[in-house]
Structure 1
Amino acid sequence: MLAKRTFAIPFAAAVVGTAMIVGLGPFLGHAETSSGSSLKAASDFGSITDTAQRSKAIFVEASRVLTHPRCINCHPATRSPTQGEDMHPHVPLMIASDSSLGPAGLVCSTCHGEENRPIVGSRLKSIPGNAHWSLAPASMAWQGLTVGEICRQVKDPALNGDRSHADLVRHMGEDHLVGWAWHPGEGRSAPPGSQEELAALISAWVGTGAECPD
């Protein structure tokens, strides 16, 4: 997934804006949990005899992860990340620089550390963190796209960071920031399945021709 990640809440705002944070309805969290569902395995699509149709069906299953809030929040339609289960605009507003690391003078790492950080006594349960926290490149904006459009974007080297099909499998299966989605910290749901299951689906999708849904 290329992932899904929210942006920094400035330290000053966190200190002086406690009352504001407590009152933020969209931040109301559930305990850290999975979505309560698993991903189908590639073998579950074996009854689809047409290889191209099987490939499309496999990607649709993988898209259950790619379109989950943990991923889609940091693949926004604009250069402003979203956050929460409802994918509301980041509070406070953040507009990414060309580097995808946050606005000048207030990079993501200002508040997003290398690990999730719990917040005691706040309705915002934790601030997510990862050593590589960043917004997805503008070329990988997913919000508002259909699954087919996301698919075509994901496999296009001109848009996906010059990744080959093999690179995509490794990225989905090994990238630490992608893996964060299944360990998002208290107050956030995780996508279905696991990183390993997602990588297996992407591998099967590639192996069947990397066909995209209409």
Structure 2
Amino acid sequence: MSIDRHFMVSLAAAATASMLLAAAGAVLSAPSGTLAAPASFASIADPTERSAAYFSELGKVLTHPRCTNCHPATDRPRQGDAARPHQPPVFRGPDGLGLASLRCSICHGSSNFEPAGVPGHPEWHLAPAEMAWEGKAPREICAQIKDPARNGGRSLEDLVRHIGDDTLVGWAWHPGGDRTPAPGTQQEAKALVEAWIKSGAACPN
């Protein structure tokens, strides 16, 4: 085989390998800003691996600033895509609605107030302290939300409704202003949670 012929064969093999790798990646995760449907993981034969893959994809939502800003590691919420400490300084309070001296509802109304860039919802509040997962990897969040002592006392079925139907959670996909929405849609996230539970609720490594 000539050098040119050998080069062309090698190039073709490399291109084929690249396409195969790209295809495999497409199965395991959708592009940034989107969510893969559960059917995208059908080629993963092992149910436990497939279940973990569902959660890894859902992790794109759970680790996004729209979620972690309200699930902070401390009693102080975060703001914006850069997850800056909330200004003015506010704190969780015993009920997640702020301290008595500065309640969330003082600034956060029933809907976004776009002139001032203030987000809003009728139930605006922080997640319970036991549901703090800012800075955690998907595998750590997975173990946490399966544990009723660390997920606000929710069952796995409750998590489907919380992530898939709760309108405050749904705000993350329609945040307004210059905030980046959570990846995909709320219904796509719900489908991943349902598929994850039905396949055994395995956690990624």
TM-score of the superposed pair, with normalisation by structure 2: 0.82
State the match for 2:17 in structure 1. Answer: none
Counterpart selection for 2:63 from 37, 59, 67: 67
Contact 1:127 1:185 survives alignment (8 Å): no
1:140 aligns with 2:138: no
State the match for 2:194 in structure 1. Answer: 203
Partners of 1:131 and 1:155 in 2: CA distance:
27
SS at match of 2:127: coil
Identity of aligned residues (%): 53
Q: Which has the higher contact order (CA 8 A, sep 6+)?
A: 1
1:98 aligns with 2:89: no
Partners of 2:112 and 2:32 in 1: CA distance:
21
State the match for 2:104 in structure 1. Answer: 108
State the match for 2:183 in structure 1. Answer: 192
State the match for 1:15 in structure 2. Answer: none
Contact 2:90 2:102 survives alignment (8 Å): no
Counterpart selection for 2:85 from 63, 69, 89: 89
Query: Offset of 1:43 from its aligned partner?
Result: 0.7
- Structure with higher Rg: it is 2
State the match for 1:167 in structure 2. Answer: 158
State the match for 1:128 in structure 2. Answer: 119
Contact 2:53 2:204 survives alignment (8 Å): yes
Unaligned runs of 5+ in 1: 1-34, 120-124
Unaligned runs of 5+ in 2: 1-30
Partners of 1:66 and 1:198 in 2: CA distance:
10
1:65-88 Cα distance to aligned partner (Å, 9 max, x none) = 111111110111100011111111
Query: Offset of 1:37 from its aligned partner?
Result: 3.1
Contact 1:94 1:103 survives alignment (8 Å): yes
Partners of 1:187 and 1:98 in 2: CA distance:
31
Counterpart selection for 1:158 from 149, 152, 158: 149
1:147-191 Cα distance to aligned partner (Å, 9 max, x none) = 111011111111112211111111111101010001112121101
Partners of 2:187 and 2:90 in 1: CA distance:
32
Instruction: Report the RMSD for the aligned CA atoms in angstroms.
Output: 1.3
1:102-151 Cα distance to aligned partner (Å, 9 max, x none) = 111211000100000111xxxxx611000110001110111121111101
Partners of 1:136 and 1:171 in 2: CA distance:
12
State the match for 1:46 in structure 2. Answer: 42
Counterpart selection for 1:118 from 91, 114, 119: 114
Partners of 2:185 and 2:96 in 1: CA distance:
26
Q: How many residues align?
A: 175
- Matched residue type, 1:151: C
Whichever structure has more helix as a proportion of its residues is 2
Query: Offset of 1:36 from its aligned partner?
Result: 7.1
TM-score of the superposed pair, with normalisation by structure 1: 0.79
SS at match of 1:173: helix
